[in-house]
Structure 1
Amino acid sequence: MNSNVMNTQSNEKQPVLSRKTTQVLKLIHFTLGKLYLALPIESVYKILNRAPVHGSGMNQVGVTHSGEEDITVIDLYQRFFKESLPEAAKGGGYLVTMQNQIGEIYGIPVAEAPILIDVPLSAIRLLPESYRRSDTVNIARHVAVIPQNSGTKTIFLLDVELLLPT
């Protein structure tokens, strides 16, 4: 008899290896001034090299073109800090684009390349409604609190549906 067949048909129970798995959320992380911001990877459409933004310059919304697409650009730096992006950051940079529920594409200009990070779900917290109504970062509903050597790092998780001012 073939011993390989005998082994595969055996009723012996194999030991089950127990592994502790941590559920994580994949985020695209970037900085804006002194703020740490992130978007869930599912929300990100593309990351592009920054192109000229057209508009009146009177508010934080403009438009740029990428191929055949027109992208609404939201200058969060101007929105949060009430001033234009520092000159040093204007020359290059990236445009983090995302798509909302109705399919419209938005972009956020950032000075440095965004990075992909894994954040344990246990590190994500809901922001209090009173804070959201009072602070300039009212477009975030959650934060990720990440332990660091020197304390903690708080990353605001942006909500794509809240990006455009009403």
Structure 2
Amino acid sequence: MGESLTEGKYITFKISTYLLALPIDSVFKVIACPPDLSHTLREAKLAQLGQSTVMILKLHQSLDPLYSQQQDSNQIGRFLIIMQGKEGELYGILVGTPPNLMTIPETCIQQVPQSFHHTGLPTWVSQIAILNHKDERTTILMLDIQRSSLVDNRALSIDGGQIPDLLKKSGI
């Protein structure tokens, strides 16, 4: 008899040339950002969402060493993926296109060997999914929001600046 495959649901999105995924249960909300808000969020480190503070993760710089903010000014920031950490803290990732909901079979997910992190792969990528669709292989980096290095100084670049109340002003 056929064996039942375990599948997980993930929000997938593209940053630079990478396809990334977050488990759906760690995603708090996805919001569309008006152009003026997305421009301001690209510059911000923290933003106010109602009564909560959202820490903006700068994953573009972490994944692409040649990244230039001016170069991508029209490419990122149209959508904000808000994730919730293990202690209820909120993190945001700006992306240029709407994220997708994807079901990924557990059999397609594998652990990233520790030695891969010495070649420049961020430590907050602990697993990858390799999917085959129509003879095309796709690799997805699985983000681990529980890993402390996801919110270290390289991803966040927090400099003690003000916390803009942007989301509240935009009616989000």
TM-score range, shorter chain: 0.7 to 0.9
Aligned pair count reads 143
Identity across matched positions, percent: 25
Gaps of 5+ in 1: 1-17
Residue number in structure 2 paired with 1:22: 5
Aligned to 2:104: 119
8 Å contact kept, 1:48–1:94: yes
Output the CA distance in 2 between the equivalents of 1:97 and 1:140: 18
Following the alignment from structure 1 to structure 2, what is the Cα–Cα distance between the partners of residues 165 and 71? 15
Q: Is the 8 A contact 1:132 1:141 kept in 2?
A: no
Gaps of 5+ in 2: 154-172
The structure having more radius of gyration, on CA atoms, is 1
Q: Check 1:128–1:111 CA distance in 2 against 1; reply closer, same or farther (3 A cut).
A: same
Runs of 4+ in 1 over 6 A off after TM superposition: none
What is the aligned counterpart of 2:136 among 151, 156, 162?
151
Q: 1:33 aligns with which of 6, 10, 16?
A: 16
Does residue 1:165 correspond to 2:148, yes or no? no
User: Helix, strand or coil: the match of 1:87?
Assistant: coil
- SS for the counterpart of 1:42 is helix
TM-score (norm 2): 0.74
| Rounded Cα–Cα distance in structure 1 between residues aligned with 2:121 and 2:45 | 20
Q: TM-score, normalised by structure 1?
A: 0.77
How far did 1:20 drift?
A: 5.1
1:75-90 equivalent positions in 2, closer than 5 A: 75-82=58-65, 83=67, 84=69, 86-90=72-76
- Post-superposition Cα deviations, 1:60-85, rounded to whole Å, max 9, x if no partner, equal x7112223322100110122224326
Determine which structure has greater relative contact order: mean sequence separation of CA pairs < 8 Å that are 6+ residues apart, divided by chain length.
2
Q: Match for residue 53 of structure 1?
A: 41
